[in-house]
């Protein structure tokens, strides 16, 4: 009888923990994208709309730095404690940012929210990997993808409605019941199957990584706008970036407790997989953040209307992952073909965005944007089912946590690099998003072309590398 109760308790613990992971993923998406929809309104109120591209880069850079640190913190203090810290931090910082009295205070709490988000974004995947077996993980990761895209749908839609009708101050408050549920489930039901490993955080590595990212972003955002590209300020910062990068790699290679486990990159499938994850981010970032900016500031529509463009993308992501997820797990020979198909869809759709927007016809542009976001959803769904499992394919079980941390870093770095690129495009057109937006599609074309090359020549499913 005791064994039966023990089994039931284990199953209940697993189910509640998985539920917490999915709810957390939904909440993080709703909170982040809800704020994104209201951000143009907030920037207009502070009279700082030109600061929008810089703020987006700061946001994704903060997430990138803390995502890398977050994996080590999980090892040090455990999943449960870090989940509590991250969820609480995101919720509190978002609430304070919403009621900030001026731009400076808003930026401080907005970046704090992004930093906690960077830690928290690893938690759902860490929970899933910790409470499931490898043979069943693809199923639960598919549900994770559906949860993520549910948040991507609800966040912009409700965020736009709330911003237009109740004010942007309410945007981060209405979903606060979700982190409360997550904290209850994690504290009450998370299995005590592992203990934190006593080790020191790689402080020099963390500081060097911050300097690498910061100097890189300064070069791309200051050059050509505030200083000429030939300016000593730009070149000096670029040289500093190279020096910091080499110092970071030198330190991490010799550290006994590295922040970034460089030996994982000796596994070909891992290196190719995380590169594809990084190259898949420009289309996701464009659809999630810059379509909203273009529709509101470039075309003059409301936040509510701009939020509707998340609907087709999210529906197609969920449709692709739900319909093809189970089938693909039984027909592994199709993995590479679908990976290549996803890259082709994204590339072709980006060309449509370049030629079909900015034509002077709002009706045609709106139709093109709905088509573009729909097919970006197809590409994202195919990417998630192929590239994300690929980087885990040959990872030893003992290195799975480190792999998740590196993949999360590549995801946020992909968002950072694409945000920086879009900021550079905006700067090149004098900050006129109406003129610059079509050219952002060319950034996605380049990324998806590189993705396609990797998929055709380097991806090898079904073999141990």
Other CB atoms closer than 10 Å to residue 361's CB: what's the count? 12
> 292, 156 in Cβ contact below 8 A?
yes
Q: What is the pLDDT of residues 195-235, one digit of tens each?
A: 545 556 677 888 888 888 778 777 776 776 677 778 888 88
Q: What is the pLDDT of residues 79-129, one digit of tens each?
A: 788 888 999 999 999 889 888 888 889 889 989 998 898 888 888 888 887
Tell me how far apart the 2 most distant CA atoms of the chain are, in Å: 77
Helix (H) / strand (E) element for 44: namely helix 2-45
The token pair that represents 463 in the structure block: 């073999």
Per the listing, tokens 């799975």 go with: 400
Q: Which residues contact 156 (CB under 8 A, 6 or more apart)?
A: 33, 34, 36, 37, 288, 292, 306, 307, 308, 309, 310
pLDDT at 1 over 50: no
In whole angstroms, what is the distance from residue 250 CA to residue 229 CA? Answer: 29
In whole angstroms, what is the distance from residue 287 CA to residue 276 CA? Answer: 18
SS3 (DSSP) at 223: strand
In whole angstroms, what is the distance from residue 399 CA to residue 248 CA? Answer: 21
Per the listing, tokens 């006129």 go with: 432
pLDDT band for position 139 (cuts 50, 70, 90): low
> 406, 262 in Cβ contact below 8 A?
no
pLDDT at residue 345, as a whole number: 93
Architecture of domain 2-201+259-457: Up-down Bundle (1.20)
pLDDT at residue 438, as a whole number: 92
Q: Across-strand partners of 227?
A: 223
Q: Report residue 464: phi and psi, to 5°.
A: -85, 120
pLDDT at 4 over 70: no
Q: What is the pLDDT of residues 337-390, one digit of tens each?
A: 888 998 999 999 999 999 988 777 888 999 999 999 999 989 888 887 787 777
The token pair that represents 19 in the structure block: 């539920």
What is the DSSP annotation of 226-244?
TB-TTSHHHHHHHHHHHHH
Q: What is the pLDDT of residues 387-403, one digit of tens each?
A: 777 777 787 766 666 67
Average pLDDT over residues 147-167: 79
In whole angstroms, what is the distance from residue 176 CA to residue 231 CA? Answer: 47
Task: Give 46's DSSP letter.
Answer: T
Using the CB atoms, write b or e for 34-68: b if 16+ within 10 Å: bbbbbbbbbbeeeeebeebbbbbbbbbbbbbbbbb
pLDDT at residue 136, as a whole number: 66
User: Number of helices (H) and strands (E), helices first, in the chain?
Assistant: 18, 0
């Amino acid at each position: 009888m005791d064994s039966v109760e023990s089994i039931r308790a284990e199953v209940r613990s697993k189910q509640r923990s998985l539920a917490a992971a999915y709810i957390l993923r939904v909440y993080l998406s709703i909170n982040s994208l809800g704020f994104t929809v209201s951000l143009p309104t907030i920037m207009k109120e502070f009279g700082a709309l030109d600061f929008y591209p810089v703020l987006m880069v700061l946001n994704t850079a903060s997430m990138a730095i803390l995502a890398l640190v977050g994996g080590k913190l999980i090892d040090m203090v455990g999943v449960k404690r870090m989940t509590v810290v991250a969820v609480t931090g995101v919720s509190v910082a978002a609430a304070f940012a919403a009621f900030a009295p001026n731009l400076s205070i808003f930026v401080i709490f907005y970046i704090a929210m992004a930093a906690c988000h960077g830690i928290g974004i690893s938690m759902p995947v860490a929970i899933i990997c910790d409470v499931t077996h490898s043979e069943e993980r693809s199923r639960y990761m598919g549900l994770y993808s559906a949860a993520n895209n549910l948040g991507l749908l609800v966040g912009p839609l409700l965020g736009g409605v709330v911003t237009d009708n109740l004010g942007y101050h309410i945007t981060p408050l209405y979903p606060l019941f979700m982190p409360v549920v997550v904290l209850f489930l994690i504290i009450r039901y998370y299995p005590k199957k592992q203990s934190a490993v006593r080790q020191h955080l790689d402080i020099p590595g963390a500081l060097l990584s911050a300097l690498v990212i910061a100097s890189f972003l300064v070069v791309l955002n200051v050059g050509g706008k505030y200083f000429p590209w030939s300016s000593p300020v730009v070149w000096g910062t670029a040289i500093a970036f190279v020096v910091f990068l080499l110092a970071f790699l030198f330190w991490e290679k010799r550290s006994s407790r590295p922040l970034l486990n460089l030996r994982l990159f000796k596994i070909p499938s891992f290196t190719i997989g995380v590169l594809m994850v990084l190259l898949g981010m420009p289309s996701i970032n464009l659809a999630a953040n810059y379509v909203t900016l273009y529709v509101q500031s470039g075309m003059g529509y409301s936040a509510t209307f701009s939020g509707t463009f998340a609907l087709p993308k999210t529906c197609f992501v969920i449709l692709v992952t739900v319909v093809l997820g189970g089938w693909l797990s039984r027909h592994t020979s199709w993995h590479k073909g679908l990976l290549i198909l996803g890259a082709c869809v994204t590339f072709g759709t980006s060309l449509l965005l370049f030629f079909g927007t900015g034509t002077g016809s709002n009706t045609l542009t709106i139709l093109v944007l709905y088509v573009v976001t729909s097919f970006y959803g197809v590409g994202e769904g195919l990417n998630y089912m192929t590239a994300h499992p690929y980087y885990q394919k040959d990872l030893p079980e003992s290195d799975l946590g480190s792999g998740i941390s590196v993949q999360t870093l590549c995801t946020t770095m992909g968002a950072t690099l694409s945000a920086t690129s879009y900021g550079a495009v905006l700067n090149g057109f004098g900050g006129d998003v109406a003129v610059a937006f079509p050219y952002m599609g060319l950034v996605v074309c380049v990324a998806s072309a590189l993705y396609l090359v990797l998929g055709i020549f380097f991806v090898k499913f079904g073999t141990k590398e």
